Structure 1
Amino acid sequence: MASRTLRLNMPQWQGGDEPAYRFGAELLRWLAPEHDGPEETVFVPEPNGRAPEIDHGIKARTVLLSQARAARAAIERHDPDRIVTLGGDCLVDLAPMAYLNRKYPALGVLWIDAHPDVMSAAEFSHAHAHVLGMLLGRGDEAFTAEVPKKLTVSRVMIAGMSAWTDAEGAILKGLGLRHVPAADLARDSQPILDWIETEGITHLAVHFDLDVLDPAHFSPLLFNRPDVPAGSFDGIVQGTMRLEQVVRLLNDAGAAADMVGLAIAEHLPWDMLRLKQALADLPVMKS
């Protein structure tokens, strides 16, 4: 029987206004295990070097909406039971999460991220920092319209977030979102397992933003971008988890509930990108 798991490739970069997200998503697709089920790749235009337009306070709003709708259409063509999404910036999870929440009445969402992604254009122009808010009904009306059934707040848990800005804190409190810091997940997954049991979660969708990881121990992250001035990332919360901790957490959560969604986002393999560019400059490669 053919797999009912859709592999959705979405090399979206405009949500974070970082062209390297495109290459990161393409490399992630190559790194992922072979897949015998349906696969779709959302068309995302290559960066052209021009600054993105700002509409309703959001950078590249028009193209991001178009890509979100293309992802929704790709998903609906297959009506899958499960979706694995390889991105791209965090906004790639808008359509998959919205679909899975319609399909599974008791869906839980585990948001593994150093940041809550609940802001809107009022606080920040990069839409990759808005996506969880949109899924809960907060933010730009055109994007929230792409989520006919909003997530249930009690069945959302942010894992690995250890600090936040004042603006994010106010939004988190207003929404009533729960969160577990990285330190509480360092040795075991019990806080997440307790949440799954308490909320009666039968199906689970996971958003895994790689920036939840400690940049001192995992290199392909925004904070390890080479050749940036000192202090460029001051004030931006950095992750503290280890990759093996997240893998353990996902395996434990997957044993407690049926994992029907997994999105991996914000892969920035700077060294590989530098090597790709260097290879293109070598004389023999040009012939």
Structure 2
Amino acid sequence: MSQTLRLVFPQWQGGNNELYHLGAQLLAWLAPEHDGPTEEVPVPKPDGVALACEEGLIARHQLLAQAANARALIDKHNPQSIVVLGGDCLVDLAPFAYLNERYQDDLAVLWVDAHPDIMTPQQFEHAHAMVLGNLLGKGDSAFSGQVKAPINADKVCYVGVNEPTDWEQQRMLQLGLKNIGPEQLREQGSQAVVEWFKATGAKHLAIHLDLDVLDPGQFQSLLFSKPQAGDEFDGIAQGQLTIADVVNVLTAVAKEGEVVGLGITEHLPWSAMALKNMLEKLPLLKKL
């Protein structure tokens, strides 16, 4: 039996978007069959009730409890590796914290994302934009307090971050976080990522894959493809990579070490939800 734990984590409160719940469930259904243990982190289903902002963060206490529950499920299995099917980006907090404790200085982290995920409650009220900062021990104290061994910034590399805000750019520089942006990736291909991983000296790799790193013109199950969004996302960086770009990079770097973590997040299946809502209204199918 595989020593990889598959963790289904339909968390939606971190991005304050109910569709993340369905997105995680669909990821779990779409993923290849698994011969190892599978656990689902208990997450209350969305009920249309607005979430409260607590100490600068939407649904703070729910999110902290869910992260603790995820860690308990991980500790139950003590896996060699973890696949996380989320949910908003915050789902990778407990799994990546565990992996860094297990492999310590022998773990590197590849953060494939259009955004840096290093904000604090002073910049934003959605916790999914803070997960990497928490893992570095630099974020909100309640969340970073769940990270027993913070990840070293020199073991982290972004792929796909583009057009960060002035605050994000300055913070990335302060923390010493390396970024291989879309333009560099187009020019150098996977080689830049492979060279970074080799330079870390690590043998193990954890990969955070936020699907919003993809170009919304080519893949529509993303935040930025929200129907009738209008100007809601003006000024926010959007993904510029293709599916082939992501597959090529991750395949190449995986040849250089052992991938022990893969978190797939931010799947927002707008069309599937529209179809689900339609089915609920049809004769013989609609709810009583």
Same topology, TM > 0.5: yes
User: What is the match of residue 79 of structure 1?
Assistant: 78
- Structure 1 vs Structure 2: percent identity of aligned residues? 50
C-alpha distance in 2 between matches for 1:240 and 1:12: 25
The two structures have a TM-score, normalised by structure 2, of 0.97
Return the letter of the residue paired with 1:286: K
Give the secondary structure class of the aligned counterpart of 2:264: strand
C-alpha distance in 2 between matches for 1:237 and 1:160: 10
Which shows bigger deviation, 194-203 or 79-88?
Answer: 194-203
Return the letter of the residue paired with 2:225: N
Q: CA deviation at 1:121?
A: 0.1
User: What is the match of residue 220 of structure 1?
Assistant: 221
Q: CA deviation at 1:173?
A: 1.4
Aligned: 1:89 with 2:79: no
C-alpha distance in 1 between matches for 2:217 and 2:2: 37
Which shows bigger deviation, 67-76 or 51-60?
Answer: 51-60
Aligned: 1:50 with 2:12: no
Q: CA deviation at 1:139?
A: 1.8
User: What is the match of residue 140 of structure 1?
Assistant: 140
User: What is the match of residue 171 of structure 1?
Assistant: 171
Structure 2 spans left out of the alignment, 5+ residues: none
C-alpha distance in 2 between matches for 1:262 and 1:286: 38
C-alpha distance in 1 between matches for 2:20 and 2:49: 16
C-alpha distance in 2 between matches for 1:49 and 1:3: 38
Q: CA deviation at 1:92?
A: 0.1
User: What is the match of residue 208 of structure 1?
Assistant: 209
The two structures have a TM-score, normalised by structure 1, of 0.97
Kindly indicate whether the alpha-carbon contact (under 8 Å) linking 2:117 and 2:133 is maintained by their aligned counterparts in 1. Answer: yes
Q: Deviation digits for residues 185-209 of structure 1, max 9, x if unmatched?
A: 2362011111111111200000000
Aligned: 1:241 with 2:232: no
User: What is the match of residue 193 of structure 1?
Assistant: 194
C-alpha distance in 1 between matches for 2:202 and 2:214: 26
Q: Deviation digits for residues 217-241 of structure 1, max 9, x if unmatched?
A: 111011111122x211101100000
Which shows bigger deviation, 179-188 or 6-15?
Answer: 179-188
Kindly indicate whether the alpha-carbon contact (under 8 Å) linking 2:279 and 2:286 is maintained by their aligned counterparts in 1. Answer: no
Q: CA deviation at 1:140?
A: 1.5
C-alpha distance in 2 between matches for 1:170 and 1:59: 25
Q: CA deviation at 1:286?
A: 3.0
Give the secondary structure class of the aligned counterpart of 2:280: helix
Q: Deviation digits for residues 76-109 of structure 1, max 9, x if unmatched?
A: 0000001000000000000000000011121000
Q: CA deviation at 1:171?
A: 1.3
Q: Deviation digits for residues 24-55 of structure 1, max 9, x if unmatched?
A: 11001000000010010001001122221111
User: What is the match of residue 113 of structure 2?
Assistant: 113
C-alpha distance in 1 between matches for 2:102 and 2:286: 50
Aligned: 1:25 with 2:7: no
- Number of aligned positions between the proteins: 285
C-alpha distance in 2 between matches for 1:54 and 1:252: 42
- Deviation beyond 6 Å, 4+ runs, structure 1: none
Structure 1 spans left out of the alignment, 5+ residues: none
